[in-house]
Amino acid sequence: AAAALAAVMVRPNGFLVAVALAFAVGWRLKRVVVVCGPSLVAFGAWCLYNLQKTDDALTFFKAKDGWPEITLVDFVLRDRKIAIPHVLLALAASAAVIVVWRRLPKAWIVLTGLFLVLPFFTGMVGLGRYAGETFPPFVAAGEILRRWPPWAVLTAFTASVVGMAVCTYWVIYLDYLP
């Protein structure tokens, strides 16, 4: 688990995972060090690598400037097209977690909030990816679907397949890259 967490921490959003893990262990210093320490070491190594290769330990933050970031304000007032799929996926993922929030560990809710709410203020272009990387919405969706009759589950699955086909068409034939 520590190696997987260390691999996650080389990305800036890995910090959010560390916060959720610290929340999960109750912010007890010894446990936080044990759980989050490997990721801190990996992050430090990543910064040293960047420093050696680019003369800037935090060059990954500058690389983010190349993304067309859209905040919630931008989305509402200006450009919407590129963020629409991301916002829809984030809202669907958030809704699933909200529906079953009492059955989920609090740390999972914190993780979902950090991954899916914070980007409304820092940039929403990655929201679709974050919704897919954050496992609590999938657990929540399974919890919701397990109570549905089989025909409703099949309908939801079919709608999902159709949605993926439409998205594939957009990307391949309409050159739309969300």
Q: Residue 172 and residue 166: Cα distance in Å, rounded?
A: 10
* Residue 12 backbone phi and psi in degrees, to 5: -55, -35
Residue 146 is predicted with a pLDDT of 94
- Residue 118 confidence (pLDDT) above 60: yes
How confident is the model over 146-160, as a mean pLDDT?
95
As a whole number, the mean pLDDT across the chain is: 82
CB 141 within 8 A of CB 92: no
From 154, 141, 161, 50, select the one nearest 99 (Cα to Cα).
141
Residue 61 is predicted with a pLDDT of 73
Give the rounded percent of residues in the chain with a pLDDT score beyond 70: 85
Residue 178 is predicted with a pLDDT of 58
Residue 11 is predicted with a pLDDT of 58
State whether residue 34 is helix, strand or coil.
helix
Q: Does pTM top 0.75 for this prediction?
A: no
The upper half-sphere exposure of residue 53, i.e. CA atoms within 13 Å in the direction of its Cβ, equals 9
What share of residues in the chain are helix, strand, coil (percent, to 5)? 75, 0, 25
Give the rounded percent of residues in the chain with a pLDDT score beyond 90: 25
How confident is the model over 66-82, as a mean pLDDT?
78
111, with CB counted inside 10 A (0-12, 13-18, 19+), is buried
Q: Which amino acid is at 110?
A: V
Residue 21 is predicted with a pLDDT of 85
- The residue with tokens 């984030």 is 90
DSSP structural state of residue 149: -
From 23, 28, 25, 21, select the one nearest 4 (Cα to Cα).
21
Of 8-12, 126-130, 155-159, which range is least confident?
Answer: 8-12
pLDDT band at 155 (very low <50, low <70, confident <90, very high): very high
Residue 154 is predicted with a pLDDT of 96
